[in-house]
Amino acid sequence: MKIVVTVKQVPDPNATQGLESDNTIARDREVVLDPGDEYGIEEGLVLKEAQGGEVILVSMGPERARDAIRKGLSMGADRGILITDEQLAGADALLTAKALAAAIKAESPDLVICATESYDGSTGMVPPMLAELLDMPQLTTAKQVEVSGSKVTIHRQTEDGYQVVEAETPALVTVTAGIAEPRYASLKGIMAARSKEVKQVGLSDLGIEKGEAAETVLAVNDAEARQAGEVVEDDGSVGVEKIMAVLQTAKVV
């Protein structure tokens, strides 16, 4: 089974975040492999170990995004493709999806695994766009994935439980953070990664024109501050009743 996992390098979630003057995310700081992508890589590796095949990491980003791929290769993925091109700086979701789709199409994978959304942009738009461009069914927010023959079945996380969803491969699956505990890269894995291939391609290699941006961030505003809650003073006689009244109003009891 040929599995593609999309990976992205993002500003370190533990560091201070910032925006450029055009409201795109500032990337002039410490960067890491998107923690959400580690779950996708893990799931890809688990499926490969069960069924054989190959895990290919595909990333779009500047030259240094190679580090994000290297991390995945150290975990055990087989090879990587880095789409890097100056024209892609500040690319929106659609252009990102087009570039990824072109690189992935050339591999004809059985399964494409994405995180539900990236840590930094958090739009969650690239995976569905990618599925459309690849003409694949998309199975989203999987907390469990099984592949049997040409059928992929997932447990789709919902607010109150899960749905069982299946599709024919090739298909695109987005995975949640709960799907599996990402493995660490052992020293042997890190050593093995040194000889694994990372192919670098640009827009012209993929036959893509940059075109007009489909989205522009007009403004960025702070989230509304939380309102102060209601304070119930308890003199020892009325506290329980008041709390019960609040809970009943909220219809939680």
Partner 1 sequence: MDFALTDLQRSLREEVLALGKRFPLDWWAERDRAGEYPWEFVRACAERGWLGLVVPESYGGAGLGISEAAVLLHAVGETGAGLSGASAVHFYVFPITPVIRHGSEALKQDVLPRAAQGELLTAFGVTEPTAGTDTSRIETRAERQGGRWLINGQKVWTTNAQNAAKILLLTRTSPRDDAAPFEGMTLFLADLDRDACEVRRIEKLGRAAVDSNEVFIHDLVATDEQVVGEVGRGFQHLLDGLNPERIVIGMEACGIGRAALRLASAYARERVVFDRPIGANQAVAHPLARAWADLEAAELVGMKAAWLYDQGRPCGLEANTAKLLGADAGFAACDAALQAHGGFGYAREYHVERLWREVRLARIAPISQEMVLNFLAQRALNLPRSY
Q: Footprint of partner 1 on this chain (CB under 8 A)?
A: 32, 67, 70-71, 74, 184-188, 190-191, 193-194
Answer whether the bond into residue 137 is a cis peptide, omega within 30°. no
Comparing CB distances to partner 1, the nearer of 194 and 226 is 194
CB of residue 45 to partner 1, shortest distance in Å: 16
For the bound state, the minimum distance from the C-beta of residue 74 to partner 1, rounded and expressed in Å, comes to 5
CB 182 within 8 A of CB 217: no
Q: Are 39 and 180 in contact (CB under 8 A)?
A: yes
Tokens linked to 2: 């040929």
Smallest gap from residue 12 Cβ to partner 1 (A): 10
**Closest separation between CB of residue 130 and partner 1, Å?**
27
Nearest alpha carbon to residue 5 among 102, 111, 163, 123: 111
Which of 71/155 has CB closer to partner 1?
Answer: 71
Of 74 and 157, nearer to partner 1 (C-beta) is 74
- Contact, 185 vs 74, CB < 8 A? yes
Q: Least distance from C-beta 70 to partner 1, angstroms? A: 6
Nearer to partner 1, 1 or 190 (CB): 190
Closer residue to partner 1 (CB): 2 or 196 = 196
Beta strands in the chain (DSSP E): 2-7, 9-11, 31-33, 54-60, 79-83, 111-115, 138-148, 151-158, 161-168, 171-175, 198-201
